[in-house]
Amino acid sequence: MDVLDDYLAGVRAHGAVFCRTVSTPPWGLRFTEPAPLALAVMLHGDGWIIPAEEDPVALRRGEIVLIRGAEPYTVADHPASAPRILVDGDDHCTTLGDPASPRRNWRIAGRTSGPADDRVGEGSDLLVTAGYRIGGDLSLPLLDTLPPVAVVPRDPSLAPLLDLLADETTHDRPGQQVILDRMLDLLLVRSLRAWFDQAGSVPPLGYRALSDPLLGHVLRRLHEEPSRPWTVASLAAEAGLSRTTFARRFTSMVGRPPLAYLTHWRMTLAADRLRRPGATIAAVAREVGYHDAFTFSSAFKRTRGVSPSAHRGAFP
């Protein structure tokens, strides 16, 4: 396990909702209660993402866009095009205006409305969107690093997967939901990698250090065994460096000193574990390397701003 693996542990697709729309311009879809994280891809034609409080962002064929946050947004053929379909938080669709114009087909995980013919004709656009319902705290540091709209440039190596996605969302078939979930996971991970590897992006804490042959190993060990009684000396030994050289290199590449990063990761894990039914503070403390619940509670409040019991009580 590494930094990205752990942050994605709470962002696995299960029963993901895929929306497939074939339209001739002008067209527009308004997502009124979007998922915390959504993915959209233009498989044919071009479009625009129009956030609530940001400038419109162009979406070209083959590009993947990640949309973060709970603010409503619109996907349309042009920034000036009015929404023709509203999608709410329960994935219910409401058609606005003349139902015969424009031509469209709307498919949500096997449920369809609109014409039975959903072939992509000349001049029409094909959009596929999917949303994640995020659970737990592990994914929050990842989401916090993403802008409201992140457009990932076209990657030719993903063309076969996008072709399969276009085909799979066309007809209801046995096992379709499992296939869609797996494809969404793969597209998400590949998109996040591409986004965070770009110059100017702000990846999660520790992500860039994974490419360092020495620090990458240390970070993986920290994430695999967070409860181990790590010290700067033992971490330096894992890297094969002196304590001074290791601490300086770690702080420079990760952005925090080694033990400060360890505490950050332990408290992130603890916040997630405290949501589990029946989890006790003492048990969670042991899971993340604290034998004393009082010491753990002090560290948790210092890091997260609330006590473990208050954090747990915020989630019914």
| Reduced 3-state DSSP string for 106-155 | EEECCEEECCCCCCCCCCCEEEEEEEECCCCCCCHHHHHHCCCEEEECCC
Q: How far apart are CA 239 and CA 235, in angstroms?
A: 7
Contacts of residue 135, defined as CB under 8 A and 6 or more positions apart, other chains included, come to 10
Residue 302: predicted pLDDT: 95
- Distance in Å from the first CA to the final CA of the chain: 30
Looking at CATH, the fold of the domain delimited by 208-313 is given as: Arc Repressor Mutant, subunit A (1.10.10)
How many other C-beta atoms are found inside a 10 Å radius of the C-beta of residue 223?
18
* Residue 183: exposure state from Cβ atoms within 10 A (0-12, 13-18, ≥19): buried
Q: From 272, 238, 37, 279, select the one nearest 136 (Cα to Cα).
A: 272
Residue 245, both tokens: 């050289």
Are 61 and 45 within 8 A, CB to CB?
yes
Q: Where in the chain is the domain with CATH 2.60.120.10?
A: 14-196
Question: What are residue 164's phi and psi, to 5 degrees?
Answer: -65, -40
The three-state secondary structure class of 277 is coil
Q: Is the peptide bond before 36 cis (omega within 30 degrees of 0)?
A: no
Residue 85, both tokens: 């379909």
How big is the CA angle at 75 (ends 71 and 80), to the nearest 5 degrees?
A: 105
Q: Where in the chain is the domain with CATH 1.10.10.60?
A: 208-313
How many other C-beta atoms are found inside a 10 Å radius of the C-beta of residue 189?
14
The three-state secondary structure class of 25 is coil
What pLDDT tens digit does each residue of the chain (316 aa) get? 677 888 777 666 655 666 777 778 888 888 887 778 888 888 888 999 999 888 999 999 989 999 988 789 999 999 999 888 887 766 566 777 655 444 344 444 443 333 334 555 555 678 888 877 776 677 777 888 889 999 998 888 888 888 888 888 777 788 888 888 888 888 888 999 989 988 888 888 888 899 999 999 999 999 999 999 999 999 999 999 999 999 999 999 999 999 999 999 999 999 999 988 889 999 999 999 999 999 999 999 999 999 999 998 877 6
Q: How far apart are CA 192 and CA 151, in angstroms?
A: 10
pTM metric for this prediction? 0.78
Q: How far apart are CA 215 and CA 211, in angstroms?
A: 8
Question: CATH classification of 14-196, choosing from 2.60.290.11, 2.60.450.10, 3.30.428.10, 2.60.120.10?
Answer: 2.60.120.10
Q: How far apart are CA 131 and CA 227, in angstroms?
A: 33
- The identity of residue 119, as a single letter, is R
Q: Is 31 left (phi over 0), alpha (psi -120 to 50) or beta?
A: beta
